[in-house]
Amino acid sequence: MLGTVAALRRYPVKSMLGEDLDASDVTFTGLAGDRRLAVLSRTTGKVASAKLPRLWRDLLTLSATAGDPAATGAVRITLPEGKTIWSSDPDVDTVLSSLLDQPVTLTATPPPGAALDRAVPEAVLRDGVDAQVPAELIEMGGGGPPGTFVDFAPLHLLTTSTLDRIAELSPNGRADLQRYRPNVVVHSTAPGFGENDWLGRILRVGDQLVLRVIARTPRCAVPTLAHGALPRDPDALRVLARHNRVEPVDSADPEPCAGVYAEVLRPGRVRTGDAVRLA
């Protein structure tokens, strides 16, 4: 057994702070209600993502929570000062555009060829979050079903032992899971960065859910940014750059990585405490 499910997290609006769950259905597109909405730039047509901190890091000052996606479908968004708005409010685009200082639209429908800008992480570390640094265009959902706002694959898994190892190696002795935005946190007593060995393996989670690990998760600048009350932490990426620079997939260039991406082979319900096993 690899471990047990320590936490489940979903992010109803892409790049906003998310919420903890005790249990969730998992379909071929991931946790129910995860990344169901996204903010689109009306200037570029691209998906707004904190991976480009110069423009979009303030998305991480907002938090999103969702009820039953099969009910009203509305998502509640909490603003920095504590005020809440709903994704269904007629003025939601106006409020978000004012807060982000960019004309944006909140949408549940990915545009054709949905893509985002990903700033080169090392350049952000070197020049700062306000600098205009090189960025690469990332087409979204390359490892999952079409029509979603996931970066690559439906699920992102991370172990507690990897978080513990990052904390051991970090000058400030911390590793906040919120910075790495996992869907499934696996409690593990194996050595840190053990997920590196899961590439290509099939995992069984609980009694129903079956996953295949398709990539190690390359880290961008997002973990270094302020997340709500959490301050900036450049070492959240520097530690990985120094101690876990590996190939995300076979034959790719090494990148700082933490955790893994997985596709869903058999949907099912997952709960905290469920066993995670190699199938």
Instruction: Please state, in angstroms and rounded to a whole number, the distance separating the CA atoms of residues 140 and 151.
Output: 5
243: its two tokens: 């101690």
Q: What is the set of domains in the chain, with CATH numbers?
A: 3-278 (2.40.33.20)
pTM value is: 0.95
pLDDT in tens, 37-87: 999 999 999 999 999 999 999 999 999 999 654 456 799 999 999 999 999
pLDDT in tens, 179-237: 999 999 999 999 999 999 999 999 999 999 999 999 999 999 999 999 999 999 999 99
195 three-state secondary structure: helix
Closest C-alpha among 102, 61, 104, 66 to residue 83: 61
The phi, psi pair for 23, rounded to 5°, reads -160, 160
DSSP 8-state secondary structure symbol assigned to residue 136:
E
